[in-house]
Amino acid sequence: MYKKEKKEVDKKLLAEDRAGGFKCINCGQWVNLADSIGTAHRNHCPFCFCSCHVDRDKSGDRRSDCFGKMKPIGLTFKNEGFDKYGKKRQGELMFIHQCTNCGKISINRIAGDDDEKGIMRLFEESQKIDPKIIGEIEKEGIVVLREKDRQALIKQLPSI
């Protein structure tokens, strides 16, 4: 992306931040930065779960030159390491996003006001992901939730 275009995108992001939200890159709905858990630094839509590719190296750095649409393709649990007995800790539920422009795969925490029925629909759809894509995701150290993880997923979605 050229410097002039990047400056325009940066201005747009700053204006949306000051307005207390942003317009979804996918569905066009206005997304308020609410007071729900996980919304202070929200960058995805609570309706369609799409995001804009704004981070390059780490979450929140806003250094990407891509600005493509980050589409949700699956769910994972954040890796929280191991407890003192060596048992793997289950972390919070996360979206797996893939950029429709450059293909980058990343994870994004789910917010308290995200549509839980939509999250379950995404889980169902993700069961049909091409095994090649699952392999690409796993190369990034991300484990896609599969059918065996359904009960753990439901535990994290209280209204389901």
pLDDT tens digits along 35-80: 555 555 677 899 999 998 888 787 777 777 888 899 999 999 987 7
pLDDT score at 10: 55
What's the number of domains the chain is made of? Answer: 1
Domain that holds residue 50: 3-155
For the chain, where are the E strands, in sequence order?
21-23, 30-32, 51-52, 69-82, 88-99, 105-109
Smallest CA-to-CA distance from 47 within 73, 66, 72, 67 is with 72
pLDDT for residue 145 is more than 70:
yes
| pLDDT tens per residue across span 92-122 | 899 999 999 999 999 998 988 899 999 999 9
Residue 90 lies in a domain: yes
β-sheet bridge partners, residue 69: 52
Residue 160 lies in a domain: no
Rounded to whole angstroms, how far apart are CA atoms 155 and 58? 28
Residue 35 lies in a domain: yes
pLDDT score at 159: 74
| pLDDT tens per residue across span 115-134 | 999 999 999 999 999 999 99
